[in-house]
Amino acid sequence: MLDDDVRQVIASTRRFVRERVVPAEAEIERTDAIPPDLRRAAAAMGLFGFAVPEEYGGLGLDMSAEVQLVFELGYTTPAFRSMFGTNNGIAGHVLLEGATQEQKKAYLPLIASGEWTAAFALTEENAGSDPAGLATSARRDGDEWVINGAKRFITNAPLADVFMVFARTDPGAEGGHGITAFMVERDAPGLSVGPKDHKMGQAGAWTADVLLADVRVPASAVIGGEDGVGRGYATAMRCLAHGRIHIAALCVGLAQRLVDESVAYAATRVQGGGVIGTHQLVQGLLADSATDLYAARALVVDVAARFDDGSDTRIGPSCAKYFASEAVGRVADRAVQIHGGAGYMRGVPVERFYRDARLFRIYEGTSQIQQIVIARQLLRDAGVR
Amino acid sequence: MNIVVTVKQVPDTWAEKKLDASDKTVDRKSVDNVMNEMDEYGVEEALKIKEAHGGEVTVVTMGPEKAVETIRKALSMGADKAVHLTDESLHGSDALATSAALAKVISTLSPDLIITSSEASDARGGVMGALLAERLGLPQLTQARKVTVDPGANKVSVERLADNGYALVEATLPAVVGVVEKINQPRYPSFKGIMAAKKKPLTKLSAADAGLDAGSVGLAGATSTVVDAQPAPPRQSGTIVKDEGDGGAKVAAFLAAQKLI
């Protein structure tokens, strides 16, 4: 892609987000759903496939371009991005990273166009970032595999057409070994999706349990074919590195919105004879939030460039996700503080974003998991095992 | 259907608009330039008609080199090809001269339908549709809030916006239709559209290519001249009337002094 094209893609997305999605935020919050016309418009624009290569019907943005686009998507309710986030992100990337050429050709175009919504089903009650407790199993039965288990908090599960299911295929193997990724279509007998989870925030973004009871899939459902057996966890980890930078960029977009909301309020709210922005203690809050925003944005841009040239695909993504998610948490907290009593009221955007932002420090690896990833890799590089 | 849609690049709607001190034409250099927002509705309507009846949408614009950005925008929305009339000698053309130049270009394209928007946000003349229809000798259906094309019957009908409702107006094709912003919701350029836009045919014409006589266009050929212009005075702070029992009378006196009542 040419830089000029990328600029236009970003400009088109920016207008769409600000003209169409921002005005719909209150409705999305109230109805816990993305209006169908917004979904259609997003699919028509190509938002379901910006990270999928052009040869498979997507846009093929590299990480540096993707983060610029995601800065724009982050400017509104995270539920909007979540609608197509799994297609471009963790679920679509399972195919990009692990699938055979045939599988890519068959399924990526469906995902890039938004015809299919894909979900990433790794997390379980006792397994998430740490796969040791992964209990979902798949056993061979002739030419088929039989999958059993329960997945939890699966984003987009209520509307997904296809699930990337991670299951243990070698019961004797430990940790991340012996895990295989399967592509399971929604109508597979034995697959059921639980009721929508009732969450703190991010209304309109749906998660649910996915239950697999003797779900039979053909050998061709193994992502990566016969060579993919036992390699699912390695694939998942590569997807998560990309996903972490993506989430970090999303945090930057939301931090920008929160700074804009904070400045607008501080510049207009009158208290004690002048606008509250003239008070130095409020100025301190604004300055700290602007500084967090700049630092997070610069970090994400730098980490994306290092991810693209291959020089850092592990420590950088975790540092970016860790810092940007913590930063947007601080910025959201200050935004509520600047709004005073109004910031605690339902219906005020910063109150909603404060709840929305809380998830960023938790999903796609908690802050504590990021710390572990960062420190372990540093020590591994220093020869410590 | 062979549809022509006219677009114009204008200073950003929200930018402070200025006149160039040297020749009192719109200063396009010191501001961001965008597609005239109203033209997005025209392009959208052209695309919808094409999607319903088949055919081709050709974008026509007159403007400096930079106006190619606005052409690209229309192409990325889905138009098929474009004609860009650009020449130093066209600089300063007034509405009459512009309509003559555009009509000349459009007539070579033999369209079934010509779509314009109701006005451009820079000059706000709102006369281009009518001028083009006159120059081309075609029926004009302006202020359309709904357009229905019947290619089989060679007819187009529109709901023409009026103060207290709308009038149903019909014409034979080819015709010039001017649309208002109530008519549709313009699409956002899709990512694929953006990438495809650069590969679509774009014909660049000079004034000579278009067969225009240099004396009839530009500042030289303009029938109207901007003699003088003053920047709008800064807004004065308002008058505050304190109600001490006589508030109503004071407000009435103020309005009377402004000759408003």
ipTM of predicted assembly, 2 dp: 0.81
- Best of B69, B181, B194, B198 to disrupt the A interface (most A CBs within 10 Å) is B194
- Quick one: A373 and A255 in the same domain? yes
Residues A373, A374, A378, A381: is their CA dihedral positive or negative?
positive
Please give the sequence-ordered ranges of beta strands (E in DSSP) within chain B, or none if there are none. Answer: 2-6, 9-11, 33-35, 56-62, 81-85, 113-117, 140-150, 155-162, 165-172, 175-179, 202-205
Task: Specify the number of domains making up chain A.
Answer: 3
CB contact under 8 A, B191 and A44: no
Is B145 among the domain residues? yes
- Quick one: A92 and A137 in the same domain? no
Q: Residue B83: which of B210, B204, B217, B207 has the closest Cα?
A: B204
Output the pTM of the full model: 0.87
Query: For residue A16, which residues of chain B lie inside 8 Å, CB to CB?
Result: 188
Q: Cα–Cα distance between A375 and A368 in angstroms, integer?
A: 11
- Quick one: A314 and A219 in the same domain? no
- Best of B191, B192, B195, B200 to disrupt the A interface (most A CBs within 10 Å) is B191
Domain boundary among A87, A113, A139: A113
Q: Give, rounded to a whole angstrom, the gap between the first and last alpha carbons of chain B.
A: 54
The CATH number of residue B116's host domain is 3.40.50.620
- Name residue, tokens 């993707």: A66
- Quick one: A41 and A149 in the same domain? no
Task: Specify the number of domains making up chain B.
Answer: 1
Smallest Cα distance from B164 to chain A, Å? 29
CB A248 within 8 A of CB A325: yes
Is B37 among the domain residues? yes
Question: Looking at residue A211, what is its pLDDT?
Answer: 98
Question: Looking at residue B119, what is its pLDDT?
Answer: 86
B interface with A, Cβ–Cβ < 8 A, is: 72, 76, 187-192, 194-195, 198
Q: Which of B187, B188, B194 sits opposite A5 (nearest CB)?
A: B194
Query: For residue A9, which residues of chain B lie inside 8 Å, CB to CB?
Result: 191, 194
- Quick one: A99 and A164 in the same domain? no
- DSSP secondary structure code for residue B67 in this structure: G
- Quick one: A91 and A125 in the same domain? no
CB contact under 8 A, A15 and B191: no
Q: For residue A153, list its beta bridge partners.
A: none
Question: Looking at residue A18, what is its pLDDT?
Answer: 97
Which parts of chain B have pLDDT scores under 50?
A: none
CB A188 within 8 A of CB A215: yes
Residue B13: which domain range?
A: 2-235
- Quick one: A35 and A172 in the same domain? no
CB A98 within 8 A of CB A139: no
Q: Which tens digit of pLDDT belongs to each residue from A185-217?
A: 999 999 999 999 999 999 999 999 999 999 999
Is B60 among the domain residues? yes
Q: Which tens digit of pLDDT belongs to each residue from A149-193?
A: 999 999 999 999 999 999 999 988 887 899 999 999 999 999 999
The CATH number of residue A221's host domain is 2.40.110.10
Query: For residue A41, which residues of chain B lie inside 8 Å, CB to CB?
Result: 187-188
In this predicted structure, the answer to whether residue A369 has a pLDDT above a threshold of 70 is yes
Amino acid at A48: F
All residues at 6 or more sequence positions from A324 whose CB lies less than 8 Å from its CB, including other chains: A247, A248, A249, A251, A252, A255, A296, A299, A300, A360
The CATH number of residue A57's host domain is 1.10.540.10
- Quick one: A150 and A262 in the same domain? no
Q: Cα–Cα distance between A168 and A71 in angstroms, integer?
A: 36
Question: Looking at residue B225, what is its pLDDT?
Answer: 82
CB contact under 8 A, A8 and B76: yes
CB A380 within 8 A of CB A57: no
Q: Cα–Cα distance between A377 and A345 in angstroms, integer?
A: 43
Residue A85: which domain range?
A: 4-113
Domain boundary among A213, A230, A247: A230
CB contact under 8 A, B195 and A15: no
A interface with B, Cβ–Cβ < 8 A, is: 1, 5, 8-9, 12-13, 15-16, 41, 44-47, 50, 59
- DSSP secondary structure code for residue A278 in this structure: G
- Quick one: A310 and A353 in the same domain? yes
Is B216 among the domain residues? yes
Domain boundary among A178, A204, A230: A230
- Quick one: A193 and A213 in the same domain? yes
Q: Which tens digit of pLDDT belongs to each residue from A37-56?
A: 999 999 999 999 998 999 99
Question: Looking at residue A2, what is its pLDDT?
Answer: 55
- Quick one: A106 and A134 in the same domain? no
Is B94 among the domain residues? yes
Helix (H) or strand (E) holding A235: helix A232-268
Q: Quick one: average pLDDT of A234-262?
A: 94
Q: Quick one: average pLDDT of A218-237?
A: 93
- Quick one: A249 and A374 in the same domain? yes
CB contact under 8 A, A1 and B195: yes
Q: Kindly tell me the burial class for residue A189, based on how many C-beta atoms sit within 10 Å of its own C-beta (0-12, 13-18, 19 or more).
A: exposed
Please give the sequence-ordered ranges of beta strands (E in DSSP) within A142-278, or none if there are none. Answer: 144-155, 162-168, 179-185, 191-196, 207-218, 270-271, 274-275
Tell me the pLDDT band of A94, cut-offs 50, 70 and 90. Answer: very high
